[in-house]
Amino acid sequence: MDWQPNQESLKTLSTCLRDSLSGWNKPLQKQAEDMLVQAKASPDINNYLALIFSSAIAPPGLEVDFTPEGWHLVRTAAGIMLKNQVKANFKDIPATSLALIKLAVPMGIQDKNSQIRNVSGNIATELIRRGGLLNWQEFLPELLRLIGNEGGQIPSEAQEGAMAAMAKICEDNPKMLEAPVNGQRPLNFLLPKFIEATQSPLPKVRAQALTAINVFTDRKSQAMLNSIDSLLQHLFHLAEDPVPEVRRQVCRAFVRLVETRPDKLLPHINGLVDYIISQQKNDDEELACEAAEFWLSVGEHENLWQALEPYVQNIIPVLLQCMVYSGEDIALLGGASDDEEEDDREEDIKPQFAKKTQTRNINKDDPSADQNKNGNAYEKLASMDEDLEEGEIDDDDDEDGDDNPDEKWTLRKCSAAALDVFARDFGGPVFTSILPYLQTNLKHEEWPLREAAVLALGAVAEGCMDVVVPHLPELIPYLITLLDDPEPVVRQITCWTLGRYSSWAAELPEPAQRNTYFMPLMEGILRKMLDKNKKVQEAGASAMANLEEKAGKQLEPYCGPIIQQYVRCFKKYKDRNMWILYDCVQTLAENIGPVLARPELRDQLMPALIERWHKVGDQSREIFPLLECLSYVAMALNNAFAPFAEPIFARCINIIHQNLEQAVMATNNPNLDQPDKDFLVTSLDLLSAIIQALSDENAAKLVENSHQTFFELLSFCMEDPTDEVQQSAYAVLGDCAKFVFGQLKPFLPSIMPILLRRLDLDNILDEEIEGSFSVVNNACWSAGEIAMQYKTEMAPYVPELLQRCVEIMTNPNVPKGVSENAAIALGRLGLDHYALLAPHLPNFAEDFLDSMDEVDPSEEKATAFKGFSMVVAQNPQSIESVLMHFFVAIARYPELKLRSVAKADLHDVFQNVLNIYRQIIPQFHEFISQMEPQDQAALKANYTI
């Protein structure tokens, strides 16, 4: 390697890396960042980064300018920048530079500093992800050499760094390791080595070895099949490991093996139950939570859950014990104040979901990295990389809600979920076993025990409803009193539990019973939506949405007071709780539908929604739930939504336009972030809902008023790289074909080629297959709707559409629903193009009939069968092999008694086809006699044969 650095360039780059971390000198920081952007254009940039990153001390000539601590930060920044370079520009990196990087990475993996080791692992996995295993064949053997430490000379840091890098490579590239390389699957060789590494005397190596193994425990690979017995022996040995992180990985392995190898766990279930119980009682929260996951996995496994029945009475007390808030949680939650007037912090407004703790944490227990020193610089390091990994510090870690036990996946929540699963598995005996606990604690003076009892009662609601019902006349009134408990946390959980039992109250047969139980329950939950504590407001709103789903149309008499309370909430709520309020409104709209169009209800609700609509900016994430909510409201109001539609429709188009422009700018300028595609998805979905809801005349006016912009933007969305955007775009396209075809028609010559390309299965990438099929599904449906309207003018597109639909129907890897939509589209194509399709009938008749067998009766099915039958009439001899299937389909076609024009037409077309076959089949009645008696009877009853 003959490359030599220029000393001045090396010093300049090192200084820029240091100054880019200078949080206390913003002008200097900005200047350094700009220079780093310019430096990326240098052909030697990666050489310099590799040199800096691999230099444990400042190179000669730079010692004076950098302290050891400062040089460490420069190295780390160089490593992160190098990883980003590999990620973004791998194909453009010269071979000589790649060689230098591949020399630097193994050196970094053996570094004494854990952060450098972690960043080295991140660079390594990125190199393999981009270049594959064959481009760095010597690397994995080198890692195994370091991990194995056969001569006993490898430093512990190198062993730990190598195993951590290997775990990252496994996590990021599992398919690559399972696939054949030069005739061998790397995992077949690697997995036994990982199992050996679990015997290492170094705890971090044992834990990381298990981390690597656990990437594959829930994947059915040949390597795991070969090694399962050896793995189980080592897991049982490691079960008593003194290090909690190792035992946590052991528990994780057992959890994942539930799905893939229940047969191997079943003989050991007795010992496993005892072990998991002991680990769930451990003081280490992460270990205990991982153990509790085992009950969830086994309880939800269709063949294994019954094996737990003898042990349920031993497990449930542990679950109940773990459902009580810990002392630390109590300190955080107890005595929460009334905060309804306090504005939300920005981080509170982000959509919050319970989440499991991420395993990639930097320097969790490494004394070599002092987080308090250079704090500002460490924060800046994080912002250099969009995709943070281990070794790259996230400066938002303390602000993502993890301090609040209500915002993360905890042992308490996992235990409650397990109790819920057990209740659904085993029913009554679960309630019987918790009844003494409920009797003792529901009225306990200490709020944590009172709260846990209410949680337990709610957890068993779905599985034990039958045995709880006799107690509900006593329990429901008591729970309603707990809505006024002095502790907000108790009020919160009471809302949730009442929501879980609301179906019982809503379904009571007698009006007097509903007045006694349902009315107070609903009024109590509505009242809590305006509690003085924001968390209780959120719980009340969530419970109300639950109640709406369960009560359904039975809410119609109470819509007035419900809407009135929602309007008050719109005036009172801070930003965060607006999200769940939108959910309440849309769930109500979904369940009561046209009732919402009553003027006295609409005229209360819509002004509140429109007022919020004006307050929320186009770039606010709150626009997502607001647009989704308006979609449901529009569908419920139907044409009564017309007075509000025009400005909403126009704004959606504007949001789409802005987002697409931002995407183009970001594509052309790598320093700009790609916009959030949810803006596109929710705007498209609302446009779709409005077009469906309004009269055809009103919908057509909206589209016309958008001039050419509407369909031009729609065609861009149809080609967006994001599947979710395409899926929504094709839904809009189908709705336009159905309801505003006159406005769509002039644009079809430019839209149809895009649609046909999307139906080409060769354009689906393996890693995107699930999302892509959802797009293909909607594209098939929209093609069928266009065919219905475009009629004979569809002719230029028939050959390719026929080819695509047949490919979809005949591909065994395509989901059933997608094949059904392809069959419907093809059938509808036959309505006006039967002569064009008839010569190809033998290629698709069997698959068409197979696909249509399980399609529910609908206008789509009727028109598709009509088109197919018209094609058959043109070429009746060609489907002799599936003729019986066709006759059975005719006999079993339901509800043909003139329920609609489409079905009346279908009856006539079926009769015409039968007449044709009656003339060309000599022994027609003998052929019919081969059908099942009930099918013969149906055919004779409905047709003249």
Q: Which of 73, 83, 2, 17 is nearest to 50 (CA)?
A: 83
The residues pairing with 184 across neighbouring beta strands, listed in sequence order, are 181
Q: Which own/partner pairs from 345-354 qualify as long-range (CB within 8 Å, at least 24 positions apart)? A: 347/396, 347/399, 347/400, 347/401, 348/401, 348/575, 348/576, 349/575, 349/576, 349/621, 349/622, 350/621, 351/579, 351/621, 352/401, 352/407, 352/576, 354/407, 354/408, 354/409, 354/413
Among the listed ranges 18-27, 398-407, 427-436, which one has the minimum average pLDDT value? 398-407
pLDDT over threshold 90, residue 162? yes
- Mean pLDDT over all residues of the chain? 89
Find the DSSP H helices in 670-718.
Answer: 678-693, 696-705, 709-718
Euclidean distance between CA atoms 205 and 148, whole angstroms: 10
> 109 and 120 in contact (C-beta within 8 Å)?
yes
Q: What is the 3-state secondary structure (H, E, C) of 667-680?
A: HHCCCCCCCCCHHH
Phi, psi values for residue 184, rounded to 5°: -125, 145
Euclidean distance between CA atoms 761 and 752, whole angstroms: 16
pLDDT band per the 50, 70, 90 thresholds, residue 329: confident
Compare 273 and 303 and report the one with higher pLDDT: 273
> 323 and 416 in contact (C-beta within 8 Å)?
yes
So what's the pLDDT on residue 22? 72
Tokens of 11: 């010093």
> 374 and 69 in contact (C-beta within 8 Å)?
yes
Identify the sign of the CA torsion 165, 169, 171, 177: negative
So what's the pLDDT on residue 374? 38
Euclidean distance between CA atoms 207 and 194, whole angstroms: 11
Euclidean distance between CA atoms 331 and 67, whole angstroms: 42
So what's the pLDDT on residue 766? 56
> 74 and 107 in contact (C-beta within 8 Å)?
no
Please, what's the largest Cα pairwise distance for the chain?
104
So what's the pLDDT on residue 726? 95
So what's the pLDDT on residue 763? 80
So what's the pLDDT on residue 704? 92
Distance of CA 22 to the CA centre of its chain: 38
Give SS3 for 181.
strand
pLDDT, tens only, 828-866: 999 999 999 999 999 999 999 999 998 988 889 999 999
Q: Give the Cβ contact number of residue 686 at 10 Å.
A: 27
Q: CA-CA distances (angstroms) from residue 757 to 249, 677, 710, 744, 801?
A: 46, 22, 21, 19, 10
pLDDT, tens only, 254-281: 999 998 999 999 999 999 999 999 999 9
The pTM (predicted TM-score) of the whole model is 0.80
138 contact partners, CB below 8 Å, separation of at least 6: none
Euclidean distance between CA atoms 295 and 417, whole angstroms: 9
Euclidean distance between CA atoms 28 and 30, whole angstroms: 6
pLDDT band per the 50, 70, 90 thresholds, residue 384: very low
Give me the percent of the chain exceeding a pLDDT of 90. Answer: 76
pLDDT, tens only, 704-733: 998 668 999 999 999 999 999 999 999 999
Vertex 122 angle, CA 118 and 125, to 5°: 135
Q: CA-CA distances (angstroms) from residue 568 to 530, 532, 571, 578?
A: 8, 13, 5, 12
> 83 and 119 in contact (C-beta within 8 Å)?
yes
Euclidean distance between CA atoms 868 and 861, whole angstroms: 10
pLDDT, tens only, 58-109: 888 787 778 888 899 999 999 999 999 999 889 889 999 999 999 999 999 9
So what's the pLDDT on residue 399? 37
Which residue's structure tokens are 């599904």?
777
pLDDT over threshold 70, residue 364? no
Tokens of 302: 């269709």
Give SS3 for 184.
strand
Instruction: End-to-end CA distance of the chain: give it in Å, rounded.
Output: 88
pLDDT band per the 50, 70, 90 thresholds, residue 765: low
> 392 and 380 in contact (C-beta within 8 Å)?
no
Euclidean distance between CA atoms 190 and 176, whole angstroms: 12
Identify the sign of the CA torsion 35, 36, 40, 46: positive
Euclidean distance between CA atoms 461 and 459, whole angstroms: 6
Rounded-to-5 percentages of helix, strand, coil across the chain: 75, 0, 25
Radius of gyration of the chain (CA): 33
Region 236-253: what's the mean pLDDT? 96
> 239 and 250 in contact (C-beta within 8 Å)?
yes
Q: CA-CA distances (angstroms) from residue 941 to 857, 889, 890, 936?
A: 19, 15, 12, 9
Euclidean distance between CA atoms 706 and 539, whole angstroms: 41
So what's the pLDDT on residue 147? 96
Region 584-588: what's the mean pLDDT? 97
**Half-sphere exposure of residue 570, counting CA atoms within 13 Å on the CB side?**
24
Euclidean distance between CA atoms 892 and 853, whole angstroms: 10
The DSSP annotation for 339-381 comes to: -TTSPPPHHHHS-----PPPS--TTSS-TTS-TTTTHHHHHHH
Euclidean distance between CA atoms 372 and 198, whole angstroms: 33
Q: What is the 3-state secondary structure (H, E, C) of 523-557?
A: HHHHHHCCCCCHHHHHHHHHHHHHHHHHHHHHHHH
Compare 184 and 797 and report the one with higher pLDDT: 797
Tokens of 752: 């149809």
400 contact partners, CB below 8 Å, separation of at least 6: 347, 407
> 850 and 879 in contact (C-beta within 8 Å)?
no
Identify the sign of the CA torsion 379, 380, 383, 384: negative
So what's the pLDDT on residue 457? 97
Tokens of 317: 């007390």
Give me the percent of the chain exceeding a pLDDT of 70. Answer: 90
Find the DSSP H helices in 469-598.
Answer: 472-482, 488-500, 502-506, 511-513, 519-528, 534-551, 559-572, 575-592
pLDDT band per the 50, 70, 90 thresholds, residue 902: low
Q: Which of 254, 290, 286, 249 is nearest to 269 (CA)?
A: 254
So what's the pLDDT on residue 589? 97
pLDDT over threshold 60, residue 365? no
Q: Which of 16, 18, 8 is nearest to 37 (CA)?
A: 16
Euclidean distance between CA atoms 389 and 864, whole angstroms: 52
Phi, psi values for residue 181, rounded to 5°: -130, 115
> 161 and 208 in contact (C-beta within 8 Å)?
no
pLDDT over threshold 80, residue 379? no
Region 449-467: what's the mean pLDDT? 96
pLDDT over threshold 50, residue 578? yes
pLDDT over threshold 60, residue 751? yes
Q: Which amino acid is at 448?
A: P
Using the CB atoms, write b or e for 72-85: b if 16+ within 10 Å. bbbbbbbbbbbbbb
The DSSP annotation for 123-138 comes to: HHHHHHHHH-SGGGTT
> 482 and 329 in contact (C-beta within 8 Å)?
no
So what's the pLDDT on residue 351? 44
Tokens of 931: 């059908």
So what's the pLDDT on residue 826? 97
Tokens of 456: 């337990």
pLDDT over threshold 70, residue 337? no
> 632 and 362 in contact (C-beta within 8 Å)?
no
